C-alpha cells in the first residue's frame, strides 16, 4: 500500500503542477498541494510501517496503524483533492477525521515500537 500510494502521489502531484495550475485559483491550488504533501508523508509512513512489521510480526498496533494511515490518506488528502477542484464542498467536514486518523496511526506506531518484545 505504501508503494502504491507513493506512485499515486507522484502522479497527483504532477497533475496538480501541470494540469491544474492554470485551471484553479492560487488558494485552491494551495489546498490541493496540502493534500499532496500529507499524502506523500503518509505514503512514506505506510512504507515504514511495512518495514517495521517485518521485524515486529503480528503486531495489532502496527496493523491498525497501517489501516488508519490509509484511511487518513483517503479522508484527508482525498477530501482536499476533491474540494480543491470544486467537487462536493461538504467534504471539508471530512478532512479533520482524516487528520485524526493520521494522529491515531502515528500513536499506534509508537506504541508498537515500545511494546515490541
- What would the DSSP string read from start to end of the chain? -HHHHHHHHHHHHHIIIIIITTTS-HHHHHHHHHHHHHHHHHHHHHHHHHHHHTTSTT-HHHHHHHHHHHHHIIIIIHHHHHHHTTS-GGGGGTHHHHHHHHHHHHHHHHHHHHH--
Query: Model confidence over 91-104: pLDDT tens digits?
Result: 789 999 999 999 99
How much of the chain exceeds pLDDT 90, in percent? 84
How much of the chain exceeds pLDDT 70, in percent? 100
Name the residue with higher pLDDT: 61 or 18.
61
Sequence ranges of the domains in the chain: 2-115
The model's pTM: 0.92
Query: Model confidence over 55-87: pLDDT tens digits?
Result: 999 999 999 999 999 999 999 999 999 999 887
Amino acid at each position: 500500500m505504501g508503494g502504491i500510494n507513493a506512485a499515486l502521489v507522484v502522479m497527483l502531484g504532477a497533475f496538480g503542477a501541470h494540469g491544474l495550475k492554470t485551471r484553479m485559483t492560487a488558494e485552491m491550488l494551495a489546498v490541493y498541494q496540502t493534500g499532496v504533501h500529507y499524502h506523500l508523508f503518509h505514503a512514506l509512513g505506510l512504507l515504514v510501517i511495512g518495514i517495521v512489521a517485518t521485524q515486529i510480526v503480528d503486531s495489532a498496533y502496527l496493523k491498525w496503524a497501517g489501516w488508519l494511515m490509509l484511511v487518513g490518506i483517503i479522508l484527508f488528502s482525498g477530501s482536499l483533492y476533491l474540494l480543491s477542484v470544486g467537487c462536493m464542498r461538504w467534504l471539508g467536514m471530512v478532512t479533520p477525521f482524516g487528520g485524526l486518523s493520521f494522529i491515531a496511526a502515528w500513536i499506534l506506531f509508537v506504541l508498537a515500537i515500545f511494546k515490541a518484545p
